[in-house]
Amino acid sequence: MANYFNTLPLREQLRQLGQAEFMDSSEFADGVQALKGKKIVIVGCGAQGLNQGLNLRDSGLDVSYTLRKEAIEQKRDSWKNATDNNFNVGTYEELIPTADLVINLTPDKQHTSVINAVMPLMKQGATLSYSHGFNIVEEGMQIRKDLTVIMVAPKCPGSEVRAEYLRGFGVPTLIAVHPENDPQGKGWAEAKAYCVGTGGDRAGVLKSSFVAEVKSDLMGEQTILCGLLQTGSILSFDKMVEKGIDAGYASKLVQYGVEVITEALKHGGVSGMLDRLSNPAKLKAFEISEELKDIMRPLFQKHQDDIISGEFSKTMMEDWANGDANLLKWRAETGETAFEKTPAGDVKIAEQEYFDNYTLMVAFVRAGVELAFETMVEAGIKAESAYYESLHETPLIANTIARKKLFEMNRVISDTAEYGCYLFDQACKPLLADFMKKVDTELVGKNFNDGKDGSVDNVKLVQVNELLRDHPVEIVGRKLRKAMTAMKTIKTI
Amino acid sequence: MPTAFIQIQHLTVQYGIQIVLDDLSWIIEKGQQWLIGGKSGTGKTTLGKALAGVTTTSGNRRIDFDTTSHLPATAYYISNWFQFTNLEGDRNFYYQQRYNKHQGQNTLTVKAELEHFARQENLDFSEIENRLIEFGFADVQQSQLIELSSGEHKKLQLVKGLWLKPQLLIIDEPYTGLDKNSRIVLNQWLDELAEEGVHLVIISNDTALPNAINRFAQLRDGKIDEVGSPLAFAKESLRQRRTLPTFLKEVPHTPYDTIVQLNDVHIRYDAKNVLKNVSWEVKIGEKWVLQGPNGSGKSTLLSLINGDHPQSYGMDIHLFGNKRGSGESIWDIKQKIGLISPEMHWYFDQNATVWHTIASGFYDSIGWFIDVKFKEQKQIEELMAFFDLTEYKNQLLHTLPLGKQRLALLARTIIKNPPLLVLDEPCQGLDSDQTQYFNDVVDELVLYGKTLIYVGHYESQLPKCIEHRIVLEQGEVVAIENILVNV
């Protein structure tokens, strides 16, 4: 199988890469009509599979699950998830031939084998849906020409997809139709109906392409989302211990700090996050994040280049073929870091203290979000896609770190993200060695404002605020966040 | 000469410009057991928290713990409100998710939670085992916290506090959501603790109290006002009767005879049967009360009707004339139902104002809504006026006194004038006058073609319109009967 993107002429590459259109809610007026009465069969019943299926069924659609024979015979968790919720479950042979829409929600790495098993069983003219385009774009999977291929990718973990739906809302979702596989021209109608079925239409839908989704998703996850949060966490912890800060305190500050800090990012973007700092700390965070951006820019660009050229997926797939040798090695190393092995201390850290004592992380997050966004946009990805794959997802990943540190974060994210994360982390740490030498506890571990009188230069502060607020990620972010919360805005009488 | 156990001087608590406790001074002497009652919104909860030292105040608080006692020298506050979080402290749960089954669910079991508490407080689990049985709480130990009903959550909070036996135990609304038997057990237990030397401060307007209670007070203008008995507590001023808004006098269009039909329904989680062979028919216009002890399956039964339970699919269930799972969405079902329940109240959007809360009823969403048209705005205004809520319309729902919150939620359930009202313990936490008022409204509402399913533990606290009763015990229907005369 050849890398699909690399088979395209440049103009087509650019066209698909640059596809991102924020859809108006009027486009969803037909509701779930296009899928009403159709047989939907979901392959896989993990967190995404189960929760999307629950939503689709609650939207009046006919949903069943197909699992591998062994999963059914051994009554694995996926089988229990489906049967405990009274879904019909059957083998590929039993259910796939009846399906009008097959939704593949298995892990990326299994896609090739799953599709090879499922495709010959699919009925003429049916539809196949993905929630990530790696298999199509990077592995170059060829789908039977009579089949329609769509993508519906909710940009949140499965549990949230369900919780938001039940609340009467949804999560932002990206949809696409593979241009090589839309023989009947029904792709968009079905993707939209599916999206209504999961509630995505109420939170903002981005009309994208398989190519744009893959190239931006890979970039986001390996740089800012997972890679830099990992590097920044480990370096911060080590620095505090080196400077004599209590290890339990340091562990807690790092584990929960990313979550608290990026919660501010979620609500108010990069500028909202920096607004949580005092004025002097804000200026400092701005200054060091500028420096961090300069240091890390070449690394971000290299990651983007390797993703666009297919070099990244090629090396990763070689590792898959090699029994995940590198992945497992790096995973073990992550489990061995001092941060991972030091339990969070039994100390109270107030919400504001996470900002005041962890200015360094604020700087890391700002640098990473802006760099990832800028690099993606420079590569031809649209601002909307770049926003979802950088800023929007950062708090979600930070949340997994708060749960059980980096090991857990790497366990929860996809194999592809995990591989890319380690790759980035390996290269980024040496790059920051000199920078970290200059870092002291005022930036990480102690309150930056201690011993300062809080005064700043007016002009400087105004300039910095403007630079922060006028960054393109903030401009597109304001628009998209508004769509996500459109329904709760106050329309008073 | 009596000795002071707690001395409070010049205690002031202020939220924004609102002064809740105003230079309050109070002495609790050794051996005194207090009941704090009176009107809602007078600062009872704030006082409870201030006594326990869990809220910031100005002024002095001094507790002379008995250093020779075997009881922990500590003050413990049991809140009237339970904020549910999962293991990871994730608050983003929604009440309906308790019905979803997902392997590797990451909330604690009741047993694990109790064991954790025992380790933390150095308690012995064997001390509590018989209590759990008496309290009807032994069977739920393997349940996930998220699966508990509101009454069971209350019990869990109570068990922890009573097990600890702190020298000062403050319980805010201990009886909320408890079934009859559990209340009796609780009061006996509290009496035993008082005997052992625990000082109680109970915040409640309930009349069935532990015998040990020997002092009574209410709050007046932010200060303590000791009274001779609960009879002297100031009552909520009775509300003026108002005319029902016209839009609620329109009989909803119902082109079917049966609202709910369940045939031999089973719900189980692994080995645990939550509902067994339940069959039940509710015809249009009927007024039902659903009763049963805490944990008997009442909420689960209602979740089948409200479209919330994933296991409804594949069961023999007809709702509003349609077979469940025949292409209807849960929003089609919810659109015909006005629902209020303690669980929904818990998880209600913290950012919703009273106005938002009511408006969201048009969309069956929790605090969210798209746009409200002119006619709908009119209805919201009429309803706010009807419930005396107009002056609170821009206030956050959760900052209102509980009674007002419930009225706002009732307004939310009826704003779309649905054919079916499902009121699951709507008066939990309300005093008898508030309950009376609430039920009077319900009686008036159902005059216009509505069907009612009402959950309430006490006969004396039901609307007069109730004519049928269904009783559950351990997931089984033990009685379906007509009520001829109202008590």
ipTM, interface predicted TM-score of the complex? 0.79
Residues 6+ apart with CB under 8 A from B260: B280, B281, B282, B305, B317, B318, B319, B453
- Percentages (nearest 5) of helix, strand, coil residues in chain A: 65, 10, 30
Pairing, β B258-269 against β B272-283: antiparallel
Closest CB to B329: pick one of A60, A77, A87. A60
Burial of B487 (0-12, 13-18, 19+ CB in 10 A): exposed
A487 to B314: CB separation less than 8 angstroms, yes or no = no
Residue B327 with chain A: CB contacts under 8 Å: 36-37, 60, 62
B310 to A488: CB separation less than 8 angstroms, yes or no = no
What are φ and ψ of residue A302, in 5° steps? -60, -45
- Measured CA to CA in angstroms, residue B16 lies from B13, B19, B22, B24, B354 at distances of 10, 8, 14, 18, 19
What are the pLDDT digits (tens) for A237-257?
A: 999 999 999 999 999 999 999
Q: A5-10: long-range contacts (C-beta < 8 A, 24 or more apart)?
A: A5/A137, A5/A138, A5/A211, A5/A214, A5/A215, A5/A308, A5/A310, A6/A309, A6/A310, A7/A140, A8/A211
Architecture in CATH of A21-207: 3-Layer(aba) Sandwich (3.40)
Residue A80 with chain B: CB contacts under 8 Å: 101, 103
| Signed CA dihedral, B108, B114, B119, B125: sign only | negative
3-class SS of residue A231: helix
Smallest Cα distance from A402 to chain B, Å? 8
3-class SS of residue B212: coil
Smallest Cα distance from B303 to chain A, Å? 13
Tell whether residue A158 is among the known ligand binding residues. Answer: yes
Interchain CB contact of B363 with A (< 8 Å): yes
Interchain CB contact of A60 with B (< 8 Å): yes
- pLDDT at residue A487 above 60? no
pLDDT score, position B145: 75
- pLDDT at residue A480 above 70? yes
Residue B120 with chain A: CB contacts under 8 Å: none
Residues 238-297 of B with CB under 8 A from A: 269-270
CB atoms within 10 A of CB A322: 10
Smallest Cα distance from B38 to chain A, Å? 35
Mean pLDDT of B125-145: 83
Q: B165 — alpha (psi -120 to 50), left (phi > 0) or beta?
A: left
Q: How far apart are CA A183 and CA A195, in angstroms?
A: 21
Mean pLDDT of B252-272: 89
Active site residue A392: no
B351 to A488: CB separation less than 8 angstroms, yes or no = yes
| CATH fold label, A212-488 | N-(1-d-carboxylethyl)-l-norvaline Dehydrogenase; domain 2 (1.10.1040)
- pLDDT at residue B129 above 70? yes
b/e sequence A71-109, b meaning 16+ C-beta within 10 Å: bbeeeeebbbbbbbbbbbbbbbebbbeebbbbbbbbebb
Interchain CB contact of B103 with A (< 8 Å): yes
Helices (H), B311-459: 330-334, 342-346, 354-360, 374-386, 402-414, 432-445
B82 pLDDT tier (thresholds 50, 70, 90): low
Q: What is the dihedral of CA A80, A86, A88, A90, to 10 degrees?
A: 10
B310 to A85: CB separation less than 8 angstroms, yes or no = yes
B230 pLDDT tier (thresholds 50, 70, 90): confident
B142 pLDDT tier (thresholds 50, 70, 90): confident
- pLDDT at residue A492 above 60? no
| Nearest residue of B to residue A160, measured between CA atoms | B92
- pLDDT at residue B103 above 60? no
Amino acid at B66: D
B81 pLDDT tier (thresholds 50, 70, 90): low
Interchain CB contact of A259 with B (< 8 Å): no
Q: What is the dihedral of CA A459, A460, A466, A467, to 10 degrees?
A: 150
Residue of A40, A75, A405, A493 to mutate, interface with B, max B Cβ within 10 Å? A493
Question: Looking at A76-80, A229-233, A381-385, B109-113, which range is the least confident one?
Answer: B109-113
- pLDDT at residue B116 above 90? no
Contact predicate A368/A224, CB 8 Å: yes
Interchain CB contact of B364 with A (< 8 Å): yes
Residue A36 with chain B: CB contacts under 8 Å: 327
Say what the pTM is.
Answer: 0.83
A168 to B329: CB separation less than 8 angstroms, yes or no = no
Residues 164-183 of B with CB under 8 A from A: none
B95 pLDDT tier (thresholds 50, 70, 90): low
| Nearest residue of B to residue A79, measured between CA atoms | B103
Interchain CB contact of A490 with B (< 8 Å): yes
Sorted by where each starts, the structural domains of chain B and their CATH numbers stand as: 4-90+159-232 (3.40.50.300), 246-482 (3.40.50.300)
Residue of A78, A167, A349 to mutate, interface with B, max B Cβ within 10 Å? A167
Tell whether residue A221 is among the known ligand binding residues. Answer: yes
Nearest to B90 by CA among A390, A82, A398: A398
Token duo for residue A469: 């607020």
- pLDDT at residue B92 above 80? no
The half-sphere exposure of A284 on its side-chain side, counting CA atoms within 13 A, is: 24
CB atoms within 10 A of CB A119: 17
Interchain CB contact of A461 with B (< 8 Å): no
What are the pLDDT digits (tens) for A137-189?
A: 999 999 999 999 999 999 887 888 888 898 888 888 999 999 999 999 999 99
Q: Please provide the average confidence, as pLDDT, over all residues in chain B.
A: 86
Interchain CB contact of A329 with B (< 8 Å): no
Pairing, β B168-172 against β B199-203: parallel
Mean pLDDT of A337-351: 90
Length of chain A (residues):
493
3-class SS of residue B24: strand
pLDDT score, position B194: 94
Q: How far apart are CA A93 and CA A449, in angstroms?
A: 66
Question: Looking at A235-249, A325-339, B472-486, which range is the least confident one?
Answer: B472-486
What are φ and ψ of residue B309, in 5° steps? -95, 120
- pLDDT at residue B430 above 80? no
Q: What is the dihedral of CA A407, A413, A414, A415, to 10 degrees?
A: -10
Q: What is the dihedral of CA B308, B311, B315, B317, to 10 degrees?
A: -10
Nearest to B47 by CA among B167, B170, B173: B170
pLDDT score, position B137: 83
Closest CB to A169: pick one of B104, B269, B365. B365
Tell whether residue A333 is among the known ligand binding residues. Answer: no
Considering A6-15, A342-351, B307-316, the range whose residues carry the highest mean pLDDT is A6-15
Question: Looking at A479-493, B28-42, B151-165, which range is the least confident one?
Answer: A479-493
Length of chain B (residues):
487
pLDDT score, position B369: 54
A234 pLDDT tier (thresholds 50, 70, 90): very high
Contact predicate A390/A476, CB 8 Å: no
| Nearest residue of B to residue A47, measured between CA atoms | B102
Mean pLDDT of B370-397: 87
Closest CB to B329: pick one of A58, A160, A488. A58
- pLDDT at residue A429 above 70? yes
Q: How far apart are CA B388 and CA B408, in angstroms?
A: 10
Q: Please provide the average confidence, as pLDDT, over all residues in chain A.
A: 93
| Nearest residue of A to residue B366, measured between CA atoms | A167
Residue of B86, B101, B270 to mutate, interface with A, max A Cβ within 10 Å? B101
Amino acid at B5: F
- pLDDT at residue B85 above 70? no
Q: How far apart are CA A128 and CA A131, in angstroms?
A: 10
What residue ranges do the domains of chain A occupy?
21-207, 212-488
- Measured CA to CA in angstroms, residue B286 lies from B307, B430, B453, B454 at distances of 20, 26, 8, 11
Burial of A491 (0-12, 13-18, 19+ CB in 10 A): middle
Closest CB to A54: pick one of B100, B269, B366. B100
Tell whether residue A389 is among the known ligand binding residues. Answer: yes
Q: How far apart are CA A329 and CA A275, in angstroms?
A: 40
3-class SS of residue B223: strand
